[in-house]
């Protein structure tokens, strides 16, 4: 991996910034009432934000057909640069028919607030079944990512975007650290090697173990929980964030860890999303990225370590971020510590590991997960939140 005085370059060479300048913002506001309008859903809004702040560099807008097709079929932009997930804005036929290519389009939030501008360069039909089977490896609508795809409109709108203004996050303003700032903070801390950790679940002992294993070999850990749209049965972001705060306060060295929110929405695309998540963290300035068991998976759609194998489909140096691949971690009763099958001599019955589903069931019953699975303070926080949500 090439080292640079200002950290590793963003994917594609430079960090994109599509946040409107004050002059641009004023111009957009003056024109807003006369422009055709598209209302974004939660995922499209988070995609707009991620494009604007550079998290999706080198994208400067929603994908045109040529990029879309090569990403779906080959995991590459038309330039040949690796990219694993299509980033598109899908609308109904009626909406598409009302907008001409070459025009500006006003983008509104799900609540109807004016949030951005799209310069419409192209509108095109796309094949949903083709995208589903390539990106998600299934066309079953019980897969949450496929369901979103099949519920979307049949026409994609493409072109460069501008975010009108970067507002502080309503729940986690102090953890809103965008790529330009995270890169600056890594440099200020003297971190030449930084490992990113993606999570949409509350942190447990297995997570803690692999994060600390990774931290033994790099300068800093970038804990980067996703707070965009997730499945309805995932633990809410505010609960997860409180759990991370407890862990960082009590169980991690303060000067070696930085936490920031990732505004992205989950796709649940398993292996492809592991590549996508790695490239996003590269844009934030990470040199390494943790890939554990069934990364970004859901149900039984992906093999246990498919998200690790997919990194081998790219030439060395192409992604320019190092995947750190970890086995499924568990508490070993024989050695009385966290371990994986690589480090533990134990038999299966000597291993304690609980699925997220089992833990949620325990919490609903008012039971705390065992300390071998979760730090007690985190378990108590989860139990309190679960009982509040069920009215117990």
- The pLDDT assigned to 5 comes to 46
> Containing H/E element for 52?
helix 42-53
Per DSSP, the three-state class of 325 is: strand
Q: What is 173-390's CATH number, 3.40.50.2300, 3.40.50.620, 3.30.70.890, 3.30.450.40? A: 3.40.50.620
| Nearest Cα to Cα of residue 122 among 154, 94, 98, 155 | 155
Identify the DSSP state of 63: P
Q: What is the pLDDT of residues 188-217, one digit of tens each?
A: 999 999 999 998 778 889 999 999 999 999
Angle at 26 between CA 22 and CA 31, to 5 degrees: 150
Rounded CA gap, 153 and 96, in Å? 9
Strand partners, 16: none
Q: Is the pLDDT of residue 301 over 60?
A: yes
- Annotation marks residue 183 as catalytic: no
State the catalytic residue, choosing from 17, 189, 201, 256. 201
What span, in angstroms and rounded, lies between the C-alpha atoms of 228 and 236? 10
pLDDT digits (tens, 9 = 90+) for 303-356: 989 999 999 999 989 999 999 999 989 999 999 999 999 999 999 999 998 776
What is residue 187's predicted lDDT score, i.e. its pLDDT?
A: 97
pLDDT at 156: 98
CA torsion 297-301-306-310 (nearest 10°) is -90
Q: Is 258 helix (H, G, I), strand (E, B) or coil?
A: strand
Please give the pLDDT value at position 8. 86
* Domain chopping of the chain, boundaries: 22-163, 173-390
Helices (H), 174-331: 179-189, 205-215, 237-251, 271-283, 306-309
- Confidence (pLDDT) at 391: 63
Instruction: Answer yes or no: 242 catalytic.
Output: no
Longest dimension (CA), the chain: 70
pLDDT of residue 2: 41
Task: Name the band, by pLDDT with cuts 50, 70 and 90, for residue 7.
Answer: confident
Of residues 43, 106, 183, 200, which has the active-site annotation?
200
More confident residue, 363 or 82: 82
pTM value? 0.94
Distance set, CA 336 to CA 252, 346, 356 (Å)? 20, 10, 22
Residue with tokens 């979760």: 374
Query: Which of 23, 69, 62, 24 shows the shortest CA–CA distance to 45?
Result: 62
The mean pLDDT of the chain is 93
Which pLDDT band, with edges at 50, 70 and 90, does 392 fall under?
A: low
Percent of the chain at pLDDT exceeding 70: 96
Measured at the CA of 86, the angle between CA 328 and CA 236, to 5 degrees, comes to 50
Confidence of residue 390 (pLDDT cuts 50, 70, 90): low
Stretch among 50-54, 255-259, 268-272, 298-302 having the lowest mean pLDDT:
298-302
Q: Are 277 and 239 in contact (CB under 8 A)?
A: no
Instruction: Tell me the mean pLDDT in the region 76-90.
Output: 98
- Shortest CA distance to 266 belongs to which of 224, 229, 225, 307? 229
Q: Residue 241 — φ and ψ, nearest 5°?
A: -65, -40
Same fold, 22-163 and 173-390: no
In this model, does residue 53 exceed pLDDT 90? yes
Which residue from 230, 211, 237 is spatially nearest to 324, judged by alpha carbons? 211
pLDDT digits (tens, 9 = 90+) for 32-47: 999 999 999 999 999 9
- Average the pLDDT over 368-390 and give the result: 85
DSSP string, 74-138: HSB-TTS-B--S---EEE-HHHHHTS-TTSEEEEE-TTS-EEEEEE--EEEE--HHHHIIIIIS-
pLDDT digits (tens, 9 = 90+) for 88-130: 999 999 999 999 999 999 999 999 999 999 999 999 999 999 9
What is the arithmetic mean of pLDDT over 156-180? 96
* pLDDT at residue 341 in the model: 92
pLDDT of residue 6: 53
Topology of domain 22-163 in CATH is: Sulfate adenylyltransferase (3.10.400)
């Amino acid at each position: 991996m090439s080292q640079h005085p200002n950290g590793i370059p963003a994917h594609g060479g430079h960090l994109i910034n599509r946040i409107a300048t004050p002059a641009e913002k004023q111009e957009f506001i003056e024109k807003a009432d006369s422009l055709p309008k598209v209302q974004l859903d939660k995922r499209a809004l988070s995609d707009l934000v991620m494009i604007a702040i550079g998290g999706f560099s080198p994208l400067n807008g929603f994908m045109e057909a040529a990029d879309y097709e090569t990403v779906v079929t080959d995991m590459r932009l038309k330039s040949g640069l690796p990219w694993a997930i299509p980033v598109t804005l899908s609308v109904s036929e009626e909406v598409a028919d009302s907008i001409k290519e070459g025009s500006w389009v006003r983008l509104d939030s799900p609540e109807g607030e004016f949030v951005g501008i799209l310069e419409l360069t192209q509108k095109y039909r796309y094949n949903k079944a083709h995208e589903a089977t390539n990106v998600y490896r299934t066309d079953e609508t019980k897969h949450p990512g496929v369901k979103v795809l099949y519920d979307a409109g049949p026409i994609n709108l493409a072109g460069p975007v501008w975010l009108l203004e970067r507002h502080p996050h309503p729940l986690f303003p102090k953890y809103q650290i965008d790529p330009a700032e995270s890169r600056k903070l890594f440099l200020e801390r003297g971190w030449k090697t930084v490992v990113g950790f993606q999570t949409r679940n509350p942190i447990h002992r297995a997570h803690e173990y692999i994060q600390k294993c990774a931290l033994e070999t790099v300068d800093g850990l970038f804990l980067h929980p996703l707070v965009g749209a997730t499945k309805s049965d995932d633990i809410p972001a505010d609960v997860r964030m409180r759990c991370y705060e407890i862990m960082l306060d009590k169980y991690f060295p303060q000067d070696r860890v930085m936490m920031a929110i990732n505004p992205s929405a989950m796709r649940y695309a398993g292996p492809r999303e592991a590549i996508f998540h790695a490239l996003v963290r590269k844009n934030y300035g990470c040199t390494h990225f943790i890939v554990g068991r069934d990364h970004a998976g859901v149900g039984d759609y992906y093999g246990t370590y498919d998200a690790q194998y997919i990194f081998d489909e790219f030439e060395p140096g192409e992604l320019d971020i190092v995947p750190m691949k970890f086995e499924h971690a568990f508490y070993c009763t024989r050695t009385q510590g966290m371990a994986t099958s690589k480090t533990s001599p134990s038999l299966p019955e000597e291993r304690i590991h609980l699925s997220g589903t089992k833990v949620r069931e325990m919490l609903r019953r008012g039971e705390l997960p065992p300390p071998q699975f979760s730090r007690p303070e985190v378990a108590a926080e989860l139990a309190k939140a679960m009982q509040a949500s069920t009215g117990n």
